Amino acid sequence: MAATTDTAAQVQALADDKYKYGFVSDIEMDFAPKGLNEDIVRFISAKKNEPQWLLDWRLKAYRSWLEMTEPKWAMVNYPEIDFQDAYYYAAPKAGAKPKSLDEIDPELLRTYEKLGIPLREQEILAGVEGSERMPVAVDAVFDSVSVATTFKAKLEEAGVIFCPISEAVQRYPDLVRRYLGSVVPYSDNFYATLNSAVFTDGSFVYVPEGVRCPMELSTYFRINAKNTGQFERTLIIADKGSYVSYLEGCTAPQRDENQLHAAVVELVALDDAEIKYSTVQNWYPGDAEGKGGIYNFVTKRAACRGKNSKVSWTQVETGSAITWKYPSCILQGDGSQGEFYSVAIANGKQQADTGTKMIHIGKNTRSRIVSKGISAGKAQNTYRGLVRVLPKAENARNFTQCDSLLIGSTCGAHTVPYVESRNPTASLEHEATTAKINDDQLFYCRQRGLSSEEAVALIVNGFCREVMQHLPMEFAVEAQKLIGISLEGSVG
């Protein structure tokens, strides 16, 4: 095939030949034109100076993507996405961004204020023009550059690699080549395949054997935190006996010019390793009518390859117009463990279809699922999960608890669990409940002087407690506050 014989030089030549291939600028330009074709994929790869194997991999993904159709099984409705009407590499800066905070949805600003976010940081989060030249988001609290440097030194000392994935491709090509796509193959599903073809950046983490990562790694502190784009790719490898905790996202609502987000996260845990992955997702949910909100179509999967390895997913999902996300664990190693703790809040016209998959392959594998869904307003919230026990998974254990809370009579809460067992020694338990906020509890709180909004926030936080306590300290306090804010206007 022509594609496989292309060399990097040829790609460059193609990119340079602007008239023939319709490019409006030369290779030095910052963005590719709208639309998606093989040339765009080659352009992204060339731009990142990627080796041939990675380009080939991207092209394979692109060609499979052409054969695929969008999944329709989730309980979400949205207008048809025109994949040719999007930028796949850094959209042009001019015109797209608001000039100042005055142009931002006042609702959004109100929320920033409540979370106590400094003005300059608000501008960055809201994507105001020019704000990206300012220091990173946390500058109001302390000098992030120096913090980042100190952190880097500390990580290097421990031997932990934590860098943008594009940098890892250059510096640690063997590691990336070995693990990239080994958990989520390029042909996995429509959005993951699209991501494989056009991913622009993301994080790469490698924790060497026996190392306990000295700090929580966070995209919040990542030097290259901004403009990772809509097709983020994260790869985390925990070598034998290591431990790492990774935090993603932040509690402040982030505005983004890209409506479609299709990230892929791959985790690999080897013998006795443990990965803890926490997410607080609060992308812009759109205005009151749900317009302009982010579509969050994410593929997250962990492979517990080693004996007694463990992966724990904790997520607090409050943002996005549509969430389509099923962080999963493939429990391959004997004695490996998977956990999934989730709070999903949908208010206004938000739609969330989220859950997990636990695939038990090895002996004595264990999994635990705790999912709390809250629907308010006109939102639809679905838990969709799979627990599968394969014939060799002796003594596999699963416990699943899915609770849904309904606030208001116009929202929906749905539970769609699949439980498949092919081993008699496996013991699987699943439990789900749906109810509204208890009137007695509400009355009790009101009687003690709490406003109905405060009372709801308190009760919902109690409902989510089991999940919240698995969040790292940095997130827990803010996330609690966030739950209250997310539900504002849903009672009364």
Partner 1 sequence: MTLHQDYEQRRGSAAPAALTALRARGAADFDRLGLPTPRVERWKYTNLAPVETMALVPGATDPLPAALVAGADRIVLGAKIERSVGALPDGVHLGSIADAPDAARALLGTLASSESEALVALNAALADDALVLFVPAGVAVPRPIELIVPAQTGVASYPRLLVVLEANASATIIERHEGAGAGFVDLTAEIALGAGAKMRHWRVQVAGDARRIVTSAVRAGADSSYRAFTLTLGGRLVRNQCDARVDGDNAEVELDAAYVIGGDSHVDTTTRVVHGALNGTSRQTVKGVLDGHSRGVFQGKVLVEEGAQKTDGYQLSRALLLSRDAEVDVKPELEIYADDVKCSHGATTGRLDEDALFYLRARGIPAQEARALLVEAFVAEAIERVDDETVRAALLALAAGRLARDQQELAA
Give least dist CB 140 to partner 1, A. 41
By the rule CB under 8 A, 427 interacts with partner 1: yes
Show Cβ contacts of residue 217 under 8 Å, excluding neighbours closer than 6 positions.
Answer: 160, 162, 203, 205, 244, 245, 246, 247
The alpha helices in 315-472, defined as continuous H runs, are 439-447, 452-468
Give the integer Cα–Cα distance in Å for 237 and 311. Answer: 11
Rg (CA), the chain: 23
Give the integer Cα–Cα distance in Å for 347 and 410. Answer: 11
Amino acid code (one letter) for 474: E
By CB under 8 A, the count of residues binding partner 1 is 34
Closer of 10 and 425 to partner 1 (Cβ) = 425
CA dihedral 343, 347, 349, 352 (to 10 degrees): 10
Q: How many H helices and E strands in the chain?
A: 13, 20
Task: For residue 463, give Cα distances in angstroms to 131, 404, 458, 459, 472.
Answer: 38, 9, 9, 6, 18
Give least dist CB 435 to partner 1, A. 6
By the rule CB under 8 A, 428 interacts with partner 1: yes
Task: Give, as one character, the DSSP assignment of residue 81.
Answer: P
Give least dist CB 442 to partner 1, A. 13
By the rule CB under 8 A, 452 interacts with partner 1: no
Give least dist CB 469 to partner 1, A. 24
Residue of the chain from 59, 280, 407, 471 that contacts partner 1 (CB under 8 A)? 407
Residue of the chain from 18, 368, 414, 481 that contacts partner 1 (CB under 8 A)? 414
Residue of the chain from 107, 156, 420, 454 that contacts partner 1 (CB under 8 A)? 420
Of 354, 307, 362, the closest CA to residue 330 belongs to: 362
Handedness of CA 214, 215, 217, 220 (dihedral sign): negative
Q: Which stretch binds partner 1 (CB under 8 A): 53-61, 106-114, 290-298, 431-439?
A: 431-439
Q: Which of residues 67-86 bind partner 1 (CB under 8 A)?
A: 73
Centroid of chain to Cα 154? 26
Closer of 250 and 322 to partner 1 (Cβ) = 322
Closer of 320 and 404 to partner 1 (Cβ) = 404
Residue of the chain from 109, 147, 223, 419 that contacts partner 1 (CB under 8 A)? 419
Closer of 148 and 419 to partner 1 (Cβ) = 419
Residue of the chain from 434, 441, 476, 491 that contacts partner 1 (CB under 8 A)? 434
Give the integer Cα–Cα distance in Å for 256 and 200. Answer: 16
Contact 311/342 with Cβ under 8 angstroms? no
Closer of 211 and 460 to partner 1 (Cβ) = 460
Residue of the chain from 79, 424, 449, 492 that contacts partner 1 (CB under 8 A)? 424
Contact 143/149 with Cβ under 8 angstroms? no
Residue of the chain from 136, 406, 460, 485 that contacts partner 1 (CB under 8 A)? 406
Give least dist CB 415 to partner 1, A. 4
Residue of the chain from 93, 171, 212, 422 that contacts partner 1 (CB under 8 A)? 422
By the rule CB under 8 A, 374 interacts with partner 1: no
Of 13, 7, 14, the closest CA to residue 37 belongs to: 14
| Interface with partner 1 (CB under 8 A) | 73, 391, 404, 406-436
